[in-house]
Structure 1
Amino acid sequence: MKTVKNFSGESQIAYQQSDIERLKQEGVLTKAQDLWLEEFRRQGAEDRGTCCGGKGIEICYIGPRKRHYEYANLIQCPTGQGNLSAAESVGPAIEYLKSKGIECKYNDGWMD
């Protein structure tokens, strides 16, 4: 992880590729995606809402040899295309990631 300045001049944590690889090896990302899918199914697996692409859980990311960070999806949405269903079922996954100390938020993607 690297501390970077955001556009307001405040410090924030940006994840690097090595951090993401470590989370993959530890199984944290798979567990979060499984929790998301499990909650979606628990809620009835209805594909409701606007068809959106790029939905997922995002983090502040700084790539190799980059000077500025960007927001990037850490976990792609495992549910259908509807943004309402995705947003309503993402909670357990985000709570799990935050319990592991990962700063993240839901990204609703873009309308398709």
Structure 2
Amino acid sequence: MFHALSDRTRRDILRRVLAGEHSVSTLAAKYDMSFAAVQKHVAVLERAGLLTKRRQGREQLAAGDVEAVRSVASMLTDFESIWRGRIDAMDALPAQPPTTDME
């Protein structure tokens, strides 16, 4: 998931499909890159489970998976809590009295 979200274009595509279902060709028209390049970005997001695709006639429609995005947000919140705890522990170290080897 983090690899999928590491690219600005993929984050933008995800933002668009979370707002509503879009055809891949409509998405591709918004970017200064080839249709094939946008398809690859969509495929990365799909493999990560952040969006789903379905066929409607000749079009492929992409929709964001809100639950998957909530899962990522929850995971990031957990990581933030862990790191904040570690930073707080490091901040507390200078406040402790120094120890000597003779004690």
TM-score range, shorter chain: under 0.3
Higher strand share: 1
Higher helix share: 2
Which structure carries more relative contact order (alpha carbon 8 Å, separation 6+)?
A: 1
Please, what TM-score do these two structures have when normalized by structure 2? 0.24
